[in-house]
Amino acid sequence: MLLYSLITCCFTITFTLEVISASLEKGVQEGRMLLHDWLVILTAQYNDACKVVQYDHGNSTTSHIDVAFSQCPQLQPLPRLLFALLHNPLLRFHEEGDHPDYRIYLQCLFRLMFSCISFAHQIRASLVL
């Protein structure tokens, strides 16, 4: 169980960094699209793997799609995480109410945090060699 918790935690951190980095490099629209695309692909693959949706000659014969990941407890927190990311000030459009200066401040903090993580990773890699 601890292994699954660690994997989920590492995945969450990595995915969050990837989405926010995409939004900083390519814009908020791209970051939000990445998040939506990823959720659709994950849900489709999960439902296919768990045989929730049955296909008959290419057409779906059942309309129930499990978006809560009820058969996999490790994935159950993901919809809440994705909802939180979509409402994060770094992934909101200016029209949604956040002051542009606040968003720029958060971008600077994120870039600083990401640089520190990268620097620590480089130091650890050089110590191993």
Q: Which amino acid is at 15?
A: F
- Please list the alpha-helical segments (H only) found in 27-128: 28-49, 78-86, 100-128
Over range 33-49, report the average pLDDT: 89
pTM over 0.85: no
Mean pLDDT of the chain: 81
Residue range 16-35: mean pLDDT, rounded: 88
Give tens-digit pLDDT for 53-101.
666 666 655 567 888 898 888 888 888 888 888 888 888 877 777 788 8
Give the residues across from 60 on adjacent strands: 55
